[in-house]
A and B are shown apart, each in its own frame.
Chain A
Amino acid sequence: MKSSLQSLLQPLIAIVAGLLVGAIAIVIVDGNIVETYREMWNGAFGNFYFFTSTLARATPIILVGLGASLAFKAGFFNMGSEGQMVLGALTAAITAVYIPGPGWFKAIAAIIAAMIVAGLWSALAGWLDSRFGMNLLITTLLLNYIASLFAGYMVAYPFKDSTTNSALSQTQMIDKSVFFPKLFSGMTLHIGFVIAIVATIGLFLFIKYTKKGYEIRMLGGNPLFASYGGVSRGRLMVASMLISGAFAGLAGASDVLGTSYRYLDGSLVAANYAWTGIMATLLANSNPIGTAIAALFLAALQTGGMGMERNTDVPLEVSSIIQAVLILFITAKFTMSFIKRKKAGAKDGSTN
Chain B
Amino acid sequence: MLLEMDSITKSYGSVTANHNVNFNLRKGEVHALIGENGAGKTTLMRILYGMERPTSGEIRINGKAVAFHDPTDAIGQNIGMVHQHFMLFPAFTIAENIVIGREPTKGLKFDRKTAMEETLNLSEQYGMPVNPKQKVADCSLGMQQRVEILKVLYQGAEIIILDEPTGVLTPIEVKELLISIKKLAASGKSFIIISHKLSEIMEVADRITVLRDGHITGTVNATDTNEEELSKMMVGRELVKLERRKLEYGDPVIDVQSLSIKGAKAKPLLDNINFNVREGEIVGIAGISGNGQSELLQAISGLIPYDQGTITIQGMNVTGASVKQIRESGLAHIPEDRYLWGVSKDATVSDNGIMGHLESTSKYGILQGKLIRNLVSEWVQRFGIKTGSLSTKAQYLSGGNLQKLIVARELAKETPFLIAAEPTRGVDVGAMEIIHGELLKRRDEKAGILLVSSELTEIMKLSDRILVMYEGKIAGELDATVATEEQISLLMAGGKAVG
- The B-contacting residues of A in range 192-213, CB under 8 angstroms, are 209-212
| Interfacial chain B residues near A228, Cβ < 8 Å | 301, 303, 323, 333, 335, 341-342, 355
Chain A 213-233, CB-CB to B under 8 Å as 1, else 0, gives 010011001101111111110
| Interfacial chain B residues near A225, Cβ < 8 Å | 341-344, 355
Query: For the complex, is A165 an interface residue (Cβ under 8 Å from B)?
Result: no
Instruction: Name which residue of chain A comes closest to B51, CB basis.
Output: A349
- Which of B46, B328, B355 lies in contact with A229, CB distance below 8 A? B355
When A218-B355, A349-B51, A349-B53 are in contact, do A230 and B365 touch as well, CB less than 8 Å?
Answer: no
Query: For the complex, is A7 an interface residue (Cβ under 8 Å from B)?
Result: no
| Contact between A229 and B70, CB atoms less than 8 A apart | no
* CB proximity of A163 to chain B, nearest CB, Å: 48
Query: For the complex, is B220 an interface residue (Cβ under 8 Å from A)?
Result: no
| Contact between B323 and A230, CB atoms less than 8 A apart | yes
* CB proximity of A321 to chain B, nearest CB, Å: 32
Selected interface stretch from B134-142, B309-317, B345-353, B441-449: B345-353
Query: For the complex, is B340 an interface residue (Cβ under 8 Å from A)?
Result: yes
In the bound complex, CA of A128 to CA of B15 (Å): 49
Instruction: Name which residue of chain A comes closest to B337, CB basis.
Output: A224
Chain B 37-65, CB-CB to A under 8 Å as 1, else 0, gives 00000000010001111000000000000
In the bound complex, CA of A150 to CA of B367 (Å): 43
| Contact between B346 and A221, CB atoms less than 8 A apart | yes
* CB proximity of A208 to chain B, nearest CB, Å: 8
Chain B 1-41, CB-CB to A under 8 Å as 1, else 0, gives 00000000000110000000000000000000000000000
In the bound complex, CA of A212 to CA of B358 (Å): 10
Query: For the complex, is B324 an interface residue (Cβ under 8 Å from A)?
Result: yes
- Which of B13, B324, B341, B366 lies in contact with A224, CB distance below 8 A? B341
- Best-buried of B322, B323, B327 by chain A (most CB within 10 Å): B323
Query: For the complex, is A47 an interface residue (Cβ under 8 Å from B)?
Result: no
In the bound complex, CA of A210 to CA of B367 (Å): 5
- The B-contacting residues of A in range 227-248, CB under 8 angstroms, are 227-232
By size class, the interface of chain B is 20 to 34
In the bound complex, CA of A345 to CA of B343 (Å): 27
- Which of B53, B301, B354 lies in contact with A214, CB distance below 8 A? B354
Query: For the complex, is B356 an interface residue (Cβ under 8 Å from A)?
Result: yes
- Which of A222, A232, A348 lies in contact with B345, CB distance below 8 A? A222
By size class, the interface of chain A is 20 to 34
* CB proximity of B366 to chain A, nearest CB, Å: 6
* CB proximity of B360 to chain A, nearest CB, Å: 12
When A210-B365, A224-B341 are in contact, do A351 and B335 touch as well, CB less than 8 Å?
Answer: no
* CB proximity of B370 to chain A, nearest CB, Å: 13
| Contact between B322 and A230, CB atoms less than 8 A apart | yes
Instruction: Name which residue of chain B comes closest to A219, CB basis.
Output: B344
Query: For the complex, is B362 an interface residue (Cβ under 8 Å from A)?
Result: yes
- Best-buried of A211, A217, A348 by chain B (most CB within 10 Å): A211
In the bound complex, CA of A351 to CA of B69 (Å): 9
| Contact between A211 and B367, CB atoms less than 8 A apart | yes
- Best-buried of A212, A228, A352 by chain B (most CB within 10 Å): A228
| Interfacial chain A residues near B46, Cβ < 8 Å | 349
Query: For the complex, is A350 an interface residue (Cβ under 8 Å from B)?
Result: yes
| Contact between A218 and B367, CB atoms less than 8 A apart | no
| Contact between B70 and A352, CB atoms less than 8 A apart | yes
| Interfacial chain B residues near A227, Cβ < 8 Å | 303, 323
In the bound complex, CA of A37 to CA of B355 (Å): 50
| Interfacial chain A residues near B367, Cβ < 8 Å | 209-211, 214
In the bound complex, CA of A315 to CA of B313 (Å): 70
- The B-contacting residues of A in range 258-307, CB under 8 angstroms, are none
* CB proximity of A191 to chain B, nearest CB, Å: 28
Instruction: Name which residue of chain B comes closest to A348, CB basis.
Output: B51
| Contact between B356 and A210, CB atoms less than 8 A apart | no
| Contact between B327 and A230, CB atoms less than 8 A apart | yes
* CB proximity of B191 to chain A, nearest CB, Å: 22
In the bound complex, CA of A221 to CA of B341 (Å): 11
| Interfacial chain A residues near B351, Cβ < 8 Å | 214, 217-218
In the bound complex, CA of A125 to CA of B366 (Å): 29
* CB proximity of B264 to chain A, nearest CB, Å: 16
21 contacts between A and B (CB under 8 A): A210-B366, A210-B367, A211-B367, A217-B344, A218-B347, A221-B344, A221-B345, A226-B344, A227-B323, A228-B355, A229-B356, A230-B323, A230-B324, A230-B327, A230-B356, A232-B322, A232-B324, A344-B12, A345-B53, A349-B46, A351-B70
Known: A210-B366, A221-B344. 6 other contacts (CB 8 A): A221-B346, A222-B343, A224-B340, A232-B324, A349-B46, A349-B70
Chain A interface (Cβ < 8 Å from any Cβ of B)? 209-212, 214, 217-218, 221-222, 224-232, 344-345, 348-352
In the A-B complex, the 4 residue pairs with the smallest Cβ-Cβ separation, listed nearest first, are A221-B344, A230-B324, A349-B51, A229-B355
